[in-house]
Structure 1
Amino acid sequence: MLVTSAQQSGTRELLVRAALESGLEHVVLEGPGTVAAMAGRAVHWYGGPLAADRVAARLGLGLLEPADAWLAELPEGFTGRRIELTTLSEAWAGRRPMFVKPPGDKQFPAAVYADGTRLPRGGERIGPDTPVLVSEVVTFAVEYRLFVLDGRIATGSRYARYGRLDVAALEQDPEEPAVRAFAEELLSSRPGTVPSAVVIDVGRIQDPDTGAERWAVVEANMPWFAHGYAARPNLVLPVVLRSAGPRDQVLARDHRFLRPTA
């Protein structure tokens, strides 16, 4: 059974259609009654982390997510920029432009901030100890989203050029061979550092002085809370199912990537 949040999105609708075509049932999470009715069922999840955290324990869900430090620990040859995992309180002290994002959940917008004083303070889900990734400001000329299962690219999509939405299926993009070559080099050189089902975004950084471009990792994400853009839904679905399914079926190698449950 595929359980989804009530929030409408194009990706959700495409995944639901793919799930139904594959023989899965679909249920929309509408409240406590929905959770009670699914007790004891083997369920998978697609939706936001807030809703997932409320129901994961009761539904026996095992939610996979990349480690917060994964991006910061990559060699600069893969990132093309300096990246640090720190806390929001440390980032508040910054006095120069920086790109700041939460490593997993979207507690506040990932964006370029003029300095630390522009970062959010307070709120229900953020505080001084909230982990954040801080990097120098770069320009991505083009960005791609890759759905990865067992270290192999299942499907993907271009999603942006120079920070603006520009969507095309990976299989229809002339850069597909270069995208795959870079991602495969990354995955083969860092085995076991991401869950067996994960989303990895890559792109080309443009040098502001010379205009030269180089491939780099943008970030890693949770498939169960990722837009598919123009990726093939029937190939996205197995990645989502593996990343958010029955906790007692989680592969041993993925146990360290399990999201804590309330």
Structure 2
Amino acid sequence: MTLVLPPRLTASARLLRETARRRGLRIAHLPGFDVPEGLRPGACHLHAGPSFADAVASTLDIAPLEAPADWTARLPREFTRRDIRAVPIGEAYGLRRPAFVKSPNDKSIAALVYADGSRLPGPDAVDPGTLVLVSDVILFRTEYRLFLLDGRVHTGSRYAEGGRLRPGPLSAGALTFGAELLSAAGAGLPSAIVVDVGVTDTGAWAVVEANAAWASGCYHSDPGRALDVVLRGAGPAVELGERDRAFVRVTGR
């Protein structure tokens, strides 16, 4: 098997590359978004951003898994501590209050607090039907990344404190909240995914967002266990479990 990597590597990608090598995987560090001859479709995994995945996954018969676009919006409020809606950006243009707006599964709409809907990218730049997540503004004291595999927290790491990057160990509270979340809403997620959670400024636990494992940094997570989730999260389509078929990202666009 081969782990395919994009031209520009993050610190996490380099760590996962070395972990994969020690496990016996071949590494294909591509210089661009074109798939070279010699890479065999159906025998590759992927760790990269959404744009690179969209360019190469279909050609290589890779099935990248992602959470449903509205997964966080459908969570009970006890897990979000705020109102979250999944709406077309054309509807979000009508916002007349500050709101946090982002794309569900990529970075096409910058994840920011917008003063109102008029500050969002306009219809000249974005299809008005593009789905976005609109949520109340909330502050997190501490944020954690959970790598989830088969309905369990497989590994994880703190990644921020006070809104600033500060990787560190996973807390017992994050593990407990992750287990409660999976018990209540794990059926709506693929078998391999990342979910970020945190402690709000009021001291409550809440979901931050869901992310594709194959596009996520591992921070201080155990790299071998993070790699387990990445490999399942973007592997050969022929190995895809029946349950995960509903969570495959549409690529080749």
TM-score, with structure 2 as normaliser: 0.95
Cα distance in 2, alignment partners of residues 245 and 225 from structure 1: 13
Match for residue 129 of structure 2? Answer: 129
Q: Deviations over 1:152-177 (max 9, x none)?
A: 1111111111211111132xxxxx21
> What residue is the counterpart of 2:173 in the other structure?
178
Distance in structure 2 (CA, Å) of the matches to 1:38 and 1:254: 24
Q: Deviations over 1:41-62 (max 9, x none)?
A: 5000011111111111110111
1:59 — aligned with what?
Answer: 60
Structure 2 counterpart SS, 1:35: coil
Matched with 2:152 is: 152
Residues 144-201 of structure 1: CA distance to partner in whole angstroms, max 9, x if unpaired? 001011011111111111211111132xxxxx21111111011012232101000000
Structure 2 Cα separation of the partners of residues 122 and 230 of structure 1: 40
Indicate conservation of the 8 Å contact 1:113/1:119, yes or no.
yes
Distance 1:40 1:193 in 2: 29
Counterpart-to-counterpart distance in 2, 1:154 and 1:256: 22
Q: Offset of 1:26 from its aligned partner?
A: 0.3
- Match runs of 1:25-174 below 5 Å: 25-31=26-32, 34-40=35-41, 42-122=43-123, 126-170=126-170
Q: How many residues align?
A: 251
From 200, 204, 224, give the equivalent of 1:214: 204
Confirm whether residue 199 of structure 1 aligns to residue 194 of structure 2. yes
Cα distance in 1 for partners of 2:151, 2:56 equals: 29
> Tell me, what secondary structure is at the counterpart of 1:203?
strand
CA distance in 2, matches of 1:150, 1:254: 11
Measured in 1, the distance between the counterparts of 2:210 and 2:46 equals 19
Q: Distance in 2 between matches of 1:165 and 1:32?
A: 29
Matching residue of 1:225:
215
Which among 185, 192, 211 is matched to residue 190 of structure 1?
A: 185
For structure 2, the residue ranges without an aligned partner over 5 or more in a row are none
**What is the TM-score when the length of structure 1 is the normalising length?**
0.92
Gaps of 5+ in 1: 171-175, 207-211
Structure 1, 239-248 or 107-116: larger mean CA deviation: 107-116
- Provide the rounded CA distance (Å) in 2 between the counterparts of 1:45 and 1:220: 18
Cα shift at 1:32: 6.9
Q: 1:254 and 2:247 equivalent?
A: no
Q: Distance in 1 between matches of 2:133 and 2:195?
A: 16
Paired with 2:163 and 2:32, the residues of 1 have a C-alpha distance of 36
CA pair 33-136 structure 1, distance change in 2 beyond 3 A: closer
Q: Matched residue of 1:105: which SS?
A: coil
Instruction: Measure the CA separation in 2 of the matches of 1:225 and 1:78.
Output: 23
Task: Say which SS state the counterpart of residue 254 (structure 1) adopts.
Answer: helix
Does the CA contact (< 8 Å) of 1:69 and 1:85 recur in 2? yes
User: Residue 173 of structure 1 corresponds to which residue in structure 2?
Assistant: none
Match for 2:141: what amino acid?
Answer: A
Q: Residues 35 and 55 of structure 1 are in contact (CA less than 8 Å); yes or no, is this contact kept in structure 2?
A: no
Please say if residues 34 and 56 of structure 2, whose CA atoms lie closer than 8 Å, have aligned partners that are also in contact. no
Q: Tell me the C-alpha RMSD between the 2 structures.
A: 1.5
2:238 aligned with 1:243: no
Contact 1:3 1:26 in 2 (8 A): yes
Q: Secondary structure at the match of 2:51?
A: helix
